Structure 1
Amino acid sequence: MVSPPCVSSSIGDMKLVILLLTCSLMVASGANFYRDFEITWGDNRAQILNNAKLLTLTLDKDSGSGFKSKNEFLFGKIDMQIKLVPGNSAGTVTAYYLKSEGTTWDEIDFEFLGNLSGDPYTIHTNVFTQGKGNREQQFHLWFDPTKDFHTYSILWNPQHIIFYVDDIPIRIFKNFESKGVPFPNKQPMKIYSSLWNADNWATRGGLIKIDWSNAPFTAAYRNFMARACVIWSGVSSCASQSLSLPSMSWMAQELNSTNLEKLSWVQQNFMIYNYCADPYRFPDGLAPECGFA
């Protein structure tokens, strides 16, 4: 388990450096699903396997399943490798997201919408701030995500939220708080994932229903990594860490010119929906951030 917040009282400079480096390495600990997560629903449909290096979720006609992280985070670079439901997965949704508690929650969403065999998977992304979402962007994947594991990442720092697929940025949500747009920077979030029946909307707007003859449906997870600030009793594990430490580089990470080109490539070729380009859905005006560079 990730260690409690670092403290620096009554130690010399060299010991402080060692302590900070140790704590940062612990925050960047690799996957042990027993240590890092707990099964939240679905009974034995969710399983931790292979010495806690693999987790599977299953959906059948009776129930889906899900898990959540034991720790809460406030900013971080969160990676998870996922292999999605193969074959005819129409009507299923595999959700992987960060979410805070309460009625005015913050949330950062990946949702993978199932498909008919041969059709591309759809990645549905959304950002909630203070309980309000409606910031959807959707993409088709440029590969088959059911054949192997792929890495899905959320970089969340004070400047922006960036969604990545195999280290390729697909979406950026910038902090325009200075212009009156709420940004999720105060509420710690846990990591959640679930596999569930969403055939009322998931595939072609709900026109394609789940074919239960293909059940059970299974998604698999491995190689979780969190380089992140863990919240312990209201205190951040990053509170006493220097941003100049290599392990903290994600806190100020920006997209360089190469990654901006990759982002443009994805959005030009694979984006299929953008809330900032849907005046029919928002006749009273698009969200204010849509007008900012």
Structure 2
Amino acid sequence: MKLGAQYFQLHRESMRSPLLSHVLLGSLVSGLAAAATGSSSVSLATATCNPLKTTGCPADTALAGAISEDFKSASEHFSVYSTPDQIFYSDEGLQLTLAKRFDNPALRSNFYIMFGKVEVLLKAANGTGIISSFYLQSDDLDEIDLEWFGGDGYEVQTNYFSKGNTATYDRGGYHNMDDPRAAFHNYTIDWTAEALTWYVDGKAIRTLTNDSSQGYPQSPMYLMMGIWAGGDSTNSQGTIEWAGGSTNYDDAPFSMYIKKVVAVDYSNGSEYRYEDTSGQWTSIEAVDGQVNGRIDLAEEEFDVLVAGGTLYSEDSDSQTGSSSNDGATSSHYVHESSTKAGNSSDNPTATASGSHDSVSTSKRSITSDKAGNQSSTTLETLASSSATASGNSSSQSVSSTNGSESNHSFSSLNVFVSLVSAILFGLALI
């Protein structure tokens, strides 16, 4: 672990107190941003009712589906968390800029997932002491983190927390990679009841199993993304060292960029509620649904969306950014490739196929918590298998240039299949 990281985490925990009103970027950076900025923004993390300490907390809005966001404009799925005047949208995606001291631009999702998979196509910011962050956070302070150091051109940090516990400070992992500030890279978090795996460009770099002695994140989480100055002079010396040194604001502006976020929820229902104060995933109620009620479908959706495809509901014949809470309805998705993401040099692991039947849904294996040389099923492999299957099942592939005709063909085919299924079901009853 880097020098100063334990001091950073201790300081962060001490600043989580709900008595503080100057807190930014959720609990991952709450105390540090407050100390560094003096901002008057109030942390949603500390303002949120902690269901482990208070009964009657409001339920969390469930994604219960899948989204893909390119941030070419303000997103209905994310809200501005802080510093709105330094959040920019364009055809190139999202830009979060620290233009001057006290800037901490950040976004927070309007939904929660209860286990799921999230991928971000991100380029980290330059600048000594500048931290780019992307992470998941729960109301009871579970966390799953990715962080980049503006002064380091060779690594990414993974981290996790359980119920806000910072009794020990050796959870962080540091992973070598090509310069995360020089180009966009794919970062993926696959979070299940059994294990949590981080990927960089389709390769597993770390896996944490649910029997960790330091706890395991297992409660509904929202997404956060933002940039902040860990190297500000008002931070503790340990924090500044952890961030890589003191920030020189004469070098500003500092910007991180996000081209795409894909998120799928492994559970369904309208919202997630804590039934007791244990914080165990088995105590979470998926209202009108089921925890882990849509894993297979979610994996298919994820593969289509990271490949540049889109999801359409056959029932409504309209594009869906978030699946229906009804698993039966969700199963009628038609997958259409609208963007040949595999041809983009910015996305090293994107696949090109959007065909429902051409996407592999194989599970990744669960291993111990070791920085991995192991590599599970990568998106490059998916691209290969996708291309092969697409060639063998061209009658079922969907053309992005002939969308209406393809949708009609799929609709007719599905109607026929449904009729045959109904007949066979009737015969079985007889």
Whether contact under 8 Å (2:268, 2:291) holds in the other structure is no
1:129-148 deviation line (CA, Å, top 9, x unaligned): 12214343332432111222
1:57 maps to what in 2? 96
Question: Of the candidates 192, 207, 213, which is equivalent to residue 250 of structure 2?
Answer: 213
Query: What TM-score do you get using the length of structure 2 for normalisation?
Result: 0.47
Distance 2:204 2:161 in 1: 19
Match for residue 222 of structure 1 among 252, 259, 270? 259
2:159 to 101, 126, 130: 126
Q: Which residue among 365, 369, 392 is the counterpart of 1:255?
A: 365
Using a 3 Å threshold, how does the CA distance of structure 1 residues 43 and 247 change in structure 2: closer, same or farther?
Answer: same
Which residue does 2:119 correspond to in 1?
Answer: 79
Offset, 1:77: 0.9
Greater Cα shift, 227-236 or 150-159? 227-236
Give the conservation status (yes or no) of the 8 Å contact 1:114–1:202: no
In structure 2, the partner of 1:96 is: 134
Q: Which residue of 1 aligns with 2:107?
A: 67
1:113 matched to 2:135? The reply is: no
Distance 1:206 1:244 in 2: 39
Residues 243 and 93 of structure 1: CA distance in aligned 2, closer, same or farther (over 3 Å): closer
Taking a change above 3 Å as real, the CA distance of residues 63 and 153 of structure 1, as seen in their structure-2 partners, is: same
Matched letter for residue 93 of structure 1: I
Deviation at 1:241, TM superposition (A): 4.2
Equivalent residue of 2:247, what SS?
coil
Equivalent pair of 2:204/2:374 in contact (CA under 8 Å): no
Instruction: Please point out which of 181, 188, 205 is paired with 1:153.
Output: 188
* SS of the residue 1:29 aligns to: strand
- In our comparison, the structure showing a higher alpha carbon Rg is 2
Post-superposition shift, 1:36?
A: 1.9
2:256 alignment partner AA = A
Shift of 1:149: 1.0
Deviations 1:14-71 (A, max 9, x none): xxxxxxxxxx9x8233215412211110121112333xx7111111223121111111
Q: Does 1:31 align with 2:69?
A: yes
Partners of 1:65 and 1:38 lie apart in 2 by 11
Distance 1:120 1:98, change over 3 A: same
Q: Name the TM-score, length of structure 1 as normaliser.
A: 0.67
Evaluate the alpha carbon distance shift between residue 76 and residue 242 of structure 1 in structure 2; reply closer, same or farther with a 3 A threshold: closer
Identify the residue that residue 41 of structure 1 maps to in structure 2. 82
Is residue 195 of structure 1 aligned with residue 227 of structure 2?
yes
Kindly provide the amino acid, as one letter, of the partner of residue 148 in structure 1: A
Q: Is the 8 A contact 2:264 2:302 kept in 1?
A: no
SS of corresponding position for 1:218: strand
Q: Which has the higher strand share?
A: 1
Structure with the greater relative contact order (CA < 8 A, sep ≥ 6): 1 or 2? 1
Structure 1 residues 144 and 224: CA distance shift in structure 2, 3 A: same
Question: Is the contact between residue 77 and residue 226 of structure 1 (CA under 8 Å) also seen in structure 2?
Answer: yes
Q: 1:65 to 1:137 in 2, by over 3 A?
A: same
RMSD: 3.4
Shift of 1:122: 3.6
Query: What per-residue deviation string (whole Å, max 9, x for no partner) do you get for residues 154-212 of structure 1?
Result: 100011011111111111110117xx763222x21100011001014566446721121
Q: Which amino acid aligns with 1:264?
A: N
TM-aligned CA distance change 1:209 to 1:265, over 3 Å: farther
* Equivalent AA in structure 1 for residue 257 of structure 2: A
> Relative to 1, partners in 2 of residues 1:112 and 1:240: Cα closer, same or farther, differing over 3 Å?
closer
- Residues 77/261 of structure 1: CA separation in 2 closer, same or farther (3 Å cut): same
Q: Could you tell me which amino acid in structure 1 is paired with residue 163 of structure 2? A: Q
Contact persistence 1:57–1:194 (CA under 8 A): yes
Equivalent residue, structure 1, for 2:373: 264
Relative to structure 1, the CA distance from residue 35 to residue 135 in structure 2 (aligned partners, 3 Å threshold; closer, same or farther) is farther
Offset of residue 252 of structure 1: 8.6
Contact 1:163 1:170 in 2 (8 A): yes
Q: Distance in 1 between matches of 2:66 and 2:158?
A: 25
Q: CA separation in 2, counterparts of 1:203 and 1:189?
A: 28
More helix by share: 2
Overall identity of the aligned pairs, in % = 23
Q: Which ranges of structure 2 fall in alignment gaps of 5 or more residues?
A: 1-62, 273-285, 304-360, 376-430
In structure 2, distance between residues paired with 1:171 and 1:265: 9
| Aligned residue-pair number | 228
Residue ranges of structure 1 left out of the alignment (5+ in a row): 1-23, 267-293
- Assess if the C-alpha contact under 8 Å between 2:149 and 2:244 holds in 1: no
Shift of 1:249: 9.3
CA distance, structure 2, for counterparts of residue 28 and residue 158 of structure 1:
19
